[in-house]
Amino acid sequence: MTGLTAPGTLEREYAEATEEELAERVREAKAALGKGLVILGHHYQRDEVIRFADFRGDSLKLSQQGAAARDASFIVFCGVHFMAESADILRAPHQRVILPDLKAGCSMADMADSDHAEECWDELEEAFPGEVTPITYINSTAAVKALVGREGGTVCTSGNAEASLRWAFARRPRVLFIPDEHLGRNTAFRMGIPLDEMVVWDPWRPHGGVAPESLRRARVILWKGCCSVHTRFAPEHVDRVREQVPGVQVLVHPECRFEVVQKADQVGSTETIIRTVGASPAGSRWAIGTEHHLVGRLAQENPDKTVLSLSGIACQCATMYRIDLPHLCWALENLREGRAVNCVSVPEETRAAARLALDRMLSIR
């Protein structure tokens, strides 16, 4: 197969086809491509798309599963751009990664562009030479992961953020945590680091908007970034659900705001949320602070329990929502015709440095 590696344009026929027609065409294309294709579906993906996924999970787990599917020449990632980049960093040499819609980005990852991250790192190195270890959340661009890899740091997930911070503090006295300030703050506070030893670095303000004396006192420098979904949950949502649902357990993602996390009964990564609800006894009542497609799926898969959204409104990932059935069908039918559209390819130098940071994370216990 030769084909294209450039972005393509969705033809009108896909936008006008019915869901039933598209679903049948996806099934046919997937069957024709056989083991040469693997489809990855993130937990936040819409139901009509994720049902075609060969693997379902979070971004890192899916990237690892795609790379391990050695019979597959093409990895179609139904997620967002940074996830497809991570899959490309970890893929086998013969594999190519496709994102059905290249406009499916991540607002959090976009809050930490590599130029601003480089400027921040240079300032911190000048102020505290050899004292800072950079950590970037998996929800970041390949370029930021590469910066962290070059400077001796690591990537983290929401599930191993604490282990990553402990690893960093065992080496140097300070940590730069990019790009989600809430995950960094919640994790560091749980480890016993007081709030007055953390500062928020705003890349759009001179010197991060941090006073010199505050920076000198800081053990954790938090990048000013957040998840547009998880920051919608508010403390009053916790108070209201406790009033309305007697005996409810509030379980939230650590990307939620500090005030929400402090009011919750439990805090955990996406995988932890799924395991916790699944293992709970029949009759349990759960208010979940995370993306609503996952909450809805948990409710369907646990009919003997009450599972509802913490906020009571549809908190969905708008950029993930761009990956729809028309785009998935279009990408697969192009592959069947020998054209690889919307390939995500990380430059080799960036890929190698980012891989260093990912490999460090995988070695941390």
Which two structure tokens, joined as six digits, stand for 346?
Answer: 């990380």
CA-to-CA separations, 364 to 12, 76, 155, in angstroms, rounded? 48, 29, 10
Whether 181 and 117 map to the same domain: the answer is: yes
345, 5 contact by CB (below 8 A)? yes
The CA distance from 198 to 62, in Å, is: 32
Cross-sheet strand order for the sheet of 37-42 = 55-57, 37-42, 74-78, 96-98
Q: Would you tell me how many other CB atoms lie within 10 Å of the CB of residue 138?
A: 24
Q: What is the pTM of this model?
A: 0.92
Domain that holds residue 128: 109-227
In 3-state terms, what secondary structure has residue 235? helix
Whether 291 and 339 map to the same domain: the answer is: no
Question: Can you say how many angstroms the Cα of residue 58 is from the centroid of all Cα atoms in its chain?
Answer: 7
Whether 96 and 135 map to the same domain: the answer is: no
The CATH number covering residue 337 comes to 3.40.50.10800
Residue type, 350: T
Whether 89 and 145 map to the same domain: the answer is: no
Per-residue pLDDT of the chain (365 residues; tens, 9 = 90+): 333 444 566 788 998 999 999 999 999 999 999 999 999 999 888 899 999 999 998 889 999 999 999 999 999 999 999 999 999 999 999 999 999 999 998 999 999 999 999 999 999 999 999 999 999 999 999 999 999 999 999 999 999 999 999 999 999 999 999 999 999 999 999 999 999 999 999 999 999 999 999 999 999 999 999 998 999 999 999 999 999 999 999 999 999 999 999 999 999 999 999 999 999 999 999 999 998 889 999 999 999 999 999 987 666 677 778 899 999 999 999 999 999 999 999 999 999 999 999 999 999 97
Residue 2 maps to a domain: no
Domain-ending residue, one of 198, 227, 256:
227
Which two structure tokens, joined as six digits, stand for 240?
Answer: 């209201």
Domain count, the chain: 3
In 3-state terms, what secondary structure has residue 306? strand
